[in-house]
Amino acid sequence: MRKPLVVTLSALFLTACAHAGATPPATGPMAANHDNHETPSAGQEADTAAHGPRGEGQQGPKPYRKVIPADAVTHRGMLITHQVGEKLYFEIPRAELGRDMLLVGRYARAAAQDPNNPTGGFGQYGGDEFTESTLRWEREGNRIILTSPSFSITADSSLSVYRAVQNSNYAPVVAILPVEAWGPDSAAVVDVTKLYTSSVPQFEAIHGTIDAKRSYVGRTLAFPDNVEVEATQTGTPTATGNGRGGPPGRGQQTPAKSVLAHWSLVRLPAHPMQRRRWDERVGFFSIRQVDFGAEQGSAPRQYITRWRLECSDRHDGDLCYPEKPLVYYVDPATPDVWKPWIRKAITDWQPAFEAAGFKDAILAKDPPADDTTWSAEDIRHTMIRWLPSTIENAVGPHVSDPRTGEVLNGSVRIFQNVVQLARDWYFAQASQLDPRARRLPMPDSLMGRLLEFVVAHEIGHTIGLRHDQIGSSTYPADSVRSPTWVHTMGSSPSIMDYSRFNYVAQPGDGIALGDIIPRIGPYDKYAIMWGYRPIPGATTPDAERPTLEKWLAMQDTIPWYRFSERNAFGDYGTMTEAVGDADPVKSTGLGFKNLERVVGYVSGAAIQPMKDNSDLEDLYDAVIGQWTREAAHVTTLVGGATVRYKSGSQPGPVYRPLPRARQVAAVKFLNQHVFRTPTYLIRPEIERRIEPDAMIRRINQAQERVLGSLLNDQRMDRLIDTRALADHPSDIYSLDAMLGDVRHGIWSELSASRVSIDAYRRGLQMGYLSLLDGKLNPKPSESPARRFPGFRPPPPLSEEAKAQIRGELTALQADIKRAIPRAADTATRYHLIGAQDRIEDILNPNS
């Protein structure tokens, strides 16, 4: 067992120092006479603050060898690190004082969530980032002030307003560290142990209280441009109630949580990369600043995040080799069968960088096996990590210089069960085209290709690209069924689109198997060209803008170069999980034909000797989920508009409402193919193997999700707004017309001479009433809405929309009253009586 750390807490967070004016010698260590490092008691804290960091009788740094003995474990680099027993010291050269640095914290090891014990795991994984802060070391006398500067407001240093900006950028203090000794060339030696083992917000890997007695520093390494530190942090257990209102401390205690955390402290480039102005017409992540050097007032500025690629003297035709290519390392923990596919995903991006003028700009490598100083968490290394997690996902964050947007590190993280997610997607969307997908397990060659697609998408994020959700809607809907088009252009122009596999193509279309899966597309090459191609002679961001605008003009004639990510509630053209969404009605109709085929493959694919029914349930759920997504694409036509971002020099609106006829056709399709029971999805032979009695609920829930999308609050209010703005309101699909069409579709049986409503339709009709009840009589939220920076809750449904809903319910109540005498069976009669009573309760909730 390790000894508890004995470190003077007040020495780290000192608020006053009696020796601020003391100065070190020009060279060599400074002498001192005291070496007592006992931790002060609570009663000594005031005395410590009054007399300096060491308490009564302890003033000034010690001799160097008193602090850093000969047997210290030392590493020399940007900073010199010394491990002396349980303590970690930084020796900070004078040249590093006042330099901007970036601290990035990632978990080296963490307690993954245990599916059998939800409270026993930490839900985090190796490679997950937990902190990112800018830091600056500054000296005042015999102490080092560690601050966290901000770069969110700026001005050119040649302008008089620059002084005011500097005065408004006063950096918060992270810690005040007494100089323990002076090293050669007056390098300050400070004890930084507590930064890594206590609750310092910029450093903490466990948010909350960290127990210093159970936290300790592990490995440290120093390199020319960065310092790497690992430490175990343990969170202090906190008492919980007993679940019956008992006082804290009498119930079960939360178990301690420990993580092995890794911090990279990297010096930001001494020569900052030239920034490139962000533009909403191309999908890059960005940093935000406010420029107070603008001619009139302040001006918000955004700059794209991108790697620094600069041409070397080596060329291959018109392409140049970069001085420093992007190197992506493949995690050795990755199953060997998948490593070649991950390497392929990395080099898939080489053609995109060729469009920007670079040859072999991105390379795949394995970590060196014989280098003990190599660390996967070292910020200089971009890793594709493999994480043993049941989460069906993968992510690709990156770290950038907050001053310029220069990407310093990428970190693709693959959660193992994303392989299963890709398998289920492919089965539901492409098994009608690919016989290999009709039997589990699918061949490794197919699964590897699916993994390559997933990883290539996440790599796109690490090189700066956002999701291009509009991409698939810029292709003509019929083109995704053309073998020559798909072979040349793909089924979507961007791998950054949430457009998975070609579910629109029919079995007889002749699409090659290799063309079903998305790849790096024309938009991706265009975006990398726009963001990375050097612009000779342009030495400032503003000087680049004419060329960037010229490249943006290419979007006028090439629609698949356009970008949009907005998808607030399923906007037309920017929906996710869509193929052929230039015409969602046609594409969804074709997709439904394929799903009718695919659902017939489920049992044959999943039912196998000596296996349970989990795969059967997964594949069946995947088919139902795919049906729901495709159906929801049609709802985006209602109240929808085309979108094309434009700058101030481009004429015309950004948003153009869709024609009334397309919206009417969408609701008609939903009534006929979605709200009318999709009988081909009802599979008794599957249900009886996975559940006893949930088929009606399963189908109704899928239908109700689509209905909820159609009757989205913002969509209904948009219909009102669009009609109010129209030059000819009669040409607009109004909210009252849409609500009437939906009512007649869902309750179509009421007009028959003998009213007979089956169990599936009865369930949908009651779901319809529940949905409208929630809009007119919303219940108080049981939990606060999720918040994140920039979050703005959607506005509530307008009173005008509520009035129209009340009118629909009143009309429906009258239709039901007339239909009850014509009920053909007892179940239908009781259902109508119950629906009538339910409407009364909705309209008069307090009666």
Instruction: Please report which confidence band the pLDDT of residue 292 belongs to, taking 50, 70 and 90 as the band edges.
Output: low
570 is in which domain, residue-wise? 269-537+546-577
Give the CATH number, domain containing residue 570.
3.40.390
pLDDT value of position 552:
96
- pLDDT tens, residue by residue, 663-672: 999 999 999 9
Provide the pLDDT for residue 125: 67
Whether residues 151 and 295 fall in one domain = no
Q: Flag whether 215 is in a domain.
A: yes
- What average pLDDT does the segment 510-534 reach? 97
State whether 79 and 159 are in the same domain.
yes
Local structure of 217: helix, strand or coil: strand
Mean pLDDT computed over every residue of the chain: 86
Task: Please report which confidence band the pLDDT of residue 297 belongs to, taking 50, 70 and 90 as the band edges.
Answer: low
Q: What is the pLDDT of residue 338?
A: 97
Structure confidence by residue, pLDDT tens digits, 721-743? 999 998 888 889 999 999 999 99
pLDDT band at 574 (very low <50, low <70, confident <90, very high): confident
Residue 289 pLDDT: 81
Q: At what angle do helices 660-673 and 584-598 cross, to 10 degrees?
A: 20
55 lies in some domain: no
The three-state secondary structure class of 80 is strand
∠ CA 198-373-377, rounded to 5°: 50
Distance CA 674, CA 746 (A): 10
Residue 617 lies in a domain: no
Tokens of 99: 């330099």
| Domain assignment of residue 404, yes or no | yes
Q: Are residues 42 and 183 in the same domain?
A: yes
Cα angle: 12, vertex 17, 22; to 5 degrees? 110
Same domain, yes or no, for 434 and 380? yes
Q: For position 293, what pLDDT does the model report?
A: 57
**CB-facing half-sphere around the CA of 780: CA atoms within 13 A:** 1
The two tokens of residue 210 are 């960290």
Lowest-pLDDT choice from 263-267, 474-478, 641-645, 760-764: 641-645
Q: Is residue 164 part of a domain?
A: yes
| Position 607 in a domain | no
What integer is the mean pLDDT of 231-241? Answer: 67
pLDDT of residue 177: 96
CA atoms within 13 A on the CB side of 505: 31
**8 A C-beta contact, residue 60 and residue 142:** yes
- Asked, for residue 686, whether it belongs to a domain, the answer is no
Name the pLDDT band for 157 (thresholds 50, 70, 90). low
More confident residue, 790 or 256: 256
* Statement to judge: residues 209 and 185 lie in one domain: yes
- Which residues fall within 8 angstroms of residue 243, CB to CB, at 6 or more apart? 251
Q: Are residues 436 and 290 in the same domain?
A: yes
* Average of per-residue pLDDT across 61-81: 95
Same domain for 227 and 333: no
Q: What is the pLDDT at residue 355?
A: 98
Which of residues 151 and 348 earns the better pLDDT score? 348
- Counting every residue written for the chain, the total comes to 847
Same domain, 293 and 220: no
Can you tell me the distance from the alpha carbon of 503 to that of 506, in angstroms, rounded to the nearest whole number?
8
What is the model's pLDDT at position 275? Answer: 95
End-of-domain residue from the set 577, 598, 629: 577
Q: Assess whether 75 and 151 both reside in one domain.
A: yes
Instruction: Assign 34 a pLDDT band (cuts: 50, 70, 90).
Output: very low
Domains: count for the chain: 2
Looking at residue 744, what DSSP letter applies? H
Strands 286-291 and 311-316, bridge-based pairing: unpaired
* pLDDT at residue 627, as a whole number: 98
pLDDT score at 168: 59
Q: How far is CA 189 from the centre of its chain?
A: 40
Query: What pLDDT score was predicted for residue 171?
Result: 79
With 90 as the cut, is the pLDDT of residue 468 above it?
yes
Spatial contact of 240 and 230, defined as CB atoms under 8 Å apart: no
Q: Are residues 410 and 484 in the same domain?
A: yes
Domain annotation covers residue 132? yes
Looking at residue 566, its pLDDT comes to 73
Residues 107 and 196 in one domain: yes
> Are 259 and 275 contained in the same domain?
no
Is 420 a residue whose pLDDT tops 90?
yes
What is the rounded distance in angstroms from the CA atom of residue 136 to the CA atom of residue 145?
A: 8
Q: What would the mean pLDDT of 528-535 be, rounded to a whole number? A: 98
Residue 4's pLDDT band, with cuts at 50, 70 and 90, is very low
799-808 pLDDT, tens digit per residue, is 999 999 999 9
